[in-house]
Structure formats: C-alpha cells, structure tokens
Amino acid sequence: MMAGFMSYFGGRRDPKTSSRDAIVTLRQQLQMIEKKEEYLHKKVDEEMKKAKANAVSNKAAATAALRRKKVTEQELERLQNTRFQLEMQVNTLESASFNAENMAAMKKAAGALKDIHGKLSIDKVDQTMADIQEQMQLANEVGETISSSTFVGVELDEDELKQELADLEQEELNDRLMADQVPIHHPAGASRVEDRQPAAVEDDEEAQLKELQAALAM
C-alpha cells in the first residue's frame, strides 16, 4: 500500500521541494476557491433581488428565488469550510518547512563547531593556559633580573647624589617662591613705611620658605 502511495506521487522526492510544491498547489487552489466564493456571493445577491421584485406580483417566482438563494448559501458555507482547511494546511506546511530549515542550519553549525574543535578537549585547554601563564611569569622574572642588573659594576657616590638632589630641591623651592610673589601697588606714602620694616619682610619670606620645605618633605 505504501509503495502504491509513493508511486502515485512519483516516488521519493526531496522534502524541501515536495513541501514547496505542495504549498504552491494549495495556494493556487485557494485562489480558485476565492473566485468561486465571489461568484456565489453575486448569485445570492441576484436571487435576493428577484425574490424582492416578485414578492408581491409573483409569489411563486419569489419563493423559487429564495430557495435558490438558500441552496447557494449552503454551497458557499461548504466552500468557506474547505478554504479554511486548505489555509490550515498551508500554515502547517510553512511552519514545518521553516522548522526543517532551522534544524538543517543548526545541524550545519554543530558540524562546523565540531570541525573547529577537532581533537580539542578541556584538559588540553587547561594545559595550554597553564603553559601560557608559566611563560608569562618567566618573562616577568627575566625582565626584573635584567632591570636590576643594569647598574651592576657602576660606582656611585651616594653623598654626591644626595647633595645634588638637595640643590635641585632648593632651586625648585626658589622658583616656586618667585612665581608666588605678586607685585602690589602701594600709595606714595607707603614706601616709607616699607623702608622702615625690611627685616620683617625678610623674616616673613624665610618663614614661608621653611613652611614650603616642610610640606614638600612630608
């Protein structure tokens, strides 16, 4: 029985092609049904007009028109049920075809991942990461050893370095004090007062210098 069924449809076919052909056939049939429905709707309207036109003058003709209208409406209802069934089949086929394509894509992706990983395993990954960390640690130790041995064999006078640093510090303090001093405009009579207090100004500058040195030493 199955062999006869398959031979009726031409034997085994590609599922994707078979599904596409079935969807096309169903949609064509739906178009034919829609045209038939339009015709039946027009026929119902025409029979209704005849019934109204003969409702007073010719009751027999009016009754016959109503019978034809009722039969046409029943046929129209059966046709609409058929259209609904065909639409359900189209939706089911499209959904099944979409799912099949998704599964094929996922299967292809799984095969690609398998090819990429090859013989790779978690143990091999862990070992590789351990080797990388070991080599990075070795590189850091080598760099530290090289940098620490840069001045090996070079004689340096520590006292001379300290004195040079102190001179640089004093020079920097002097530059900052000069930058902080802002010229102030005094009235004509104020110059005599300043001339009478030069020692106080020097003491104040010395106090500022000591304060700045103490701040830098912290």
Q: Give this prediction's pTM.
A: 0.46
CATH classification number, 15-115, choose in 3.90.1150.10, 3.30.360.10, 3.40.50.300, 1.10.287.1060: 1.10.287.1060
pLDDT at 195 over 60: no
Looking at residue 164, its pLDDT comes to 84
pLDDT at 169 over 50: yes
Amino acid at 28: Q
Identity of the highest mean pLDDT range in 34-38, 153-157, 214-218: 34-38
Residue 115 confidence class, pLDDT cut points 50, 70, 90:
confident
Amino acid at 36: K
Residue 152 confidence class, pLDDT cut points 50, 70, 90:
low
Looking at residue 163, its pLDDT comes to 86
Q: How far apart are alpha carbons 165 and 161 in whole angstroms?
A: 6
pLDDT at 8 over 50: no
Per-residue three-class SS string for the chain: CHHHHHHHCCCCCCHHHHHHHHHHHHHHHHHHHHHHHHHHHHHHHHHHHHHHHCCCCCHHHHHHHHHHHHHHHHHHHHHHHHHHHHHHHHHHHHHHHHHHHHHHHHHHHHHHHHHHHCCCCHHHHHHHHHHHHHHHHHHHHHHHHHHHCCCCCCCCCHHHHHHHHHHHHHHHHHHHHHHHCCCCCCCCCHHHHHHCCHHHHHHHHHHHHHHHHHHHHC
